[in-house]
Amino acid sequence: MYGLSPEDLAIQARARDFADELIPFEEQVERSGGELAADVTAAHAKRARELGLHSTNMPAELGGAGCTSVQQVLVQEQMGRVTNALGWVAATPPSWLPAVATPDQIERYVRPAISGEREECYAITEEGAGSDVDAIESTAHRDGDAYVLNGVKWHVTSFNTADFAFFQARLKGGAHQGEHAMFLVDLPSPGVRVVRTPAYTHTISHHHPIVAFTDVHVPAENLVGAEGDGMAFAYEWFRFERLMVAARCLGAAGRLTEEMTAFAAARHAGGRPISDHGLVAGMLADSLTELFAARAMAYETARGIDRGTDVKVSHAQCSMAKLYCSEMAGRVADRAVQVFGGRGYMRENVAERFYRELRVERLWEGTSEIQRLIIARQMTKRGPATLA
């Protein structure tokens, strides 16, 4: 199905087996506030690397798996079958970085991220700037051989596990005054401090603290690309990550559809399996139908990237995939809770966990509203027939 090659099917099968190894840890992680023993997490990360599931998006010449976009989607889809972010060990370092990194940055950040020795986090969003990234107020100014960074960033995912951050700021002074720039900040660094670590809806080991950067000095070599380039990197990252969000949502919806179908066949009410009751059967059928449509869309978007489709077209298609797959997965999770009945409200049940966890897929990497705006803008510019 879906015209997958033997290589595609092989990596998909490896990823599925690995996801099946992770699934038994879910309840334990849920009960322990998202945490697993460090040696267990390290063993999972090692296994992901051995199986070629880590850095699927990174070039082979730098030590990455050098997978096609379709294969990246297939791997992340399987990782999405697992709750509590256990699948994040199959990490995807910033694929936009090698093309713009200096040789020194390649050695200090890119290669170690690919080998799993270093991990990044993104400090872009601020209290007054989320959807509207252009509204950021963080600043960077040149001081001799260094830049001085100031600002307070929100929702910095993985700050507690990362050892470097991408920090986006507005330049103060110089030829590019007011433009955006991106910097690499080693962690910990003097002047970088957690303001607080709020609790979020999901139970995962990666925290999303509010982080203050106060007069943080980074060497000028830590500027990524050139002054004024900051937004271009953010867009490139969004395009990739939106497709990966879509992929993980496919996995979640796939697991839920399998689990609710098995439950509905085994659970009897009124003297027959609940799957024989038309109202329940409808929920099963709608879930698989929407999953089929979503999967076809995400795979075709990835194929387009592999074929070298115009980047603006891919941008809109990644938005469509993210929008549709995340909303589809939310509907499937809601139905799964309903099919499981009272059991679906218990934290030990996969439907309950996904019901909470999938909510954020409609918020991060651009909300559903922002995806709709991007799609509509491209429709009016290029015509709907160019995009779908």
Ligand X SMILES: Cc1cc2nc3c(=O)[nH]c(=O)nc-3n(C[C@H](O)[C@H](O)[C@H](O)COP(=O)(O)OP(=O)(O)OC[C@H]3O[C@@H](n4cnc5c(N)ncnc54)[C@H](O)[C@@H]3O)c2cc1C
Run of H or E including 145: none
Q: How far is the CB of 78 from ligand X (least distance, A)?
A: 22
CB atoms within 10 A of CB 380: 8
| 112-151: contacts with ligand X (CB under 6 A) | 122, 124-125, 130-131
- Say how many residues touch ligand X, by CB under 6 A: 18
Q: How far is the CB of 91 from ligand X (least distance, A)?
A: 14
| 350-369: contacts with ligand X (CB under 6 A) | 360, 363-364, 366-367, 369
Question: Which of 200, 276, 338, 382: binder of ligand X (CB under 6 A)?
Answer: 200
Q: How far is the CB of 372 from ligand X (least distance, A)?
A: 8
Q: How far is the CB of 363 from ligand X (least distance, A)?
A: 5
Calpha distance 40→60 (Å, rounded): 27
- Nearest CB to ligand X, comparing residues 157 and 317: 157
Q: Which residue is nearest to ligand X (CB)?
A: 130
- Nearest CB to ligand X, comparing residues 2 and 364: 364
- Nearest CB to ligand X, comparing residues 4 and 373: 373
With both helix axes pointing from N to C terminus, report the angle between 6-22 and 69-79 in degrees, rounded to the nearest 10.
20
Token pair belonging to 378: 């491209």
DSSP class of residue 121 equals: E
- Nearest CB to ligand X, comparing residues 63 and 209: 209
Does 197 bind ligand X (CB under 6 A)? Our answer is no
- Nearest CB to ligand X, comparing residues 169 and 260: 169
Interacting residues of 198 by C-beta distance below 8 A, sequence separation 6+: 208, 209, 210
- Nearest CB to ligand X, comparing residues 261 and 368: 368
- Residue 286 CA: distances (Å) to CA of 65, 271, 293, 353, 375: 36, 24, 11, 21, 25
Q: How many Å separate Cα 18 from the centre of its chain?
A: 18
- Nearest CB to ligand X, comparing residues 52 and 209: 209
- Nearest CB to ligand X, comparing residues 208 and 242: 208
Does 239 bind ligand X (CB under 6 A)? Our answer is no
Backbone φ, ψ for residue 287 (5° rounding): -65, -45
Q: How far is the CB of 122 from ligand X (least distance, A)?
A: 4
Handedness of CA 293, 297, 300, 306 (dihedral sign): negative
Does 25 bind ligand X (CB under 6 A)? Our answer is no
Question: Which of 208, 255, 335, 353: binder of ligand X (CB under 6 A)?
Answer: 208
- Nearest CB to ligand X, comparing residues 25 and 364: 364
**In terms of C-beta density within 10 A (0-12 exposed, 13-18 middle, 19 or more buried), how is residue 92 classed?**
buried
Token pair belonging to 266: 């085994």
Calpha distance 70→20 (Å, rounded): 21
* Binding map of ligand X across residues 57-76, x = CB under 6 A, - = no contact: --------------------
* DSSP assignment string, 312-351: HHHHHHHHHHHHHHHHHHHHHHHHHHHHHGGGGGSTTSHH
Can you name the residues that pair with 322 across neighbouring β-strands? none
- Nearest CB to ligand X, comparing residues 291 and 358: 358
Token pair belonging to 333: 């999770």
Calpha distance 54→21 (Å, rounded): 16
Q: How far is the CB of 370 from ligand X (least distance, A)?
A: 6
Q: How far is the CB of 246 from ligand X (least distance, A)?
A: 16
**SS3 state at 250:** helix
* Binding map of ligand X across residues 151-180, x = CB under 6 A, - = no contact: ----xxx-----------------------
* Binding map of ligand X across residues 244-283, x = CB under 6 A, - = no contact: ----------------------------------------
Calpha distance 102→225 (Å, rounded): 8
Instruction: Note the residues at the interface with ligand X (CB under 6 A).
Output: 122, 124-125, 130-131, 155-157, 200, 208, 360, 363-364, 366-367, 369-370, 373
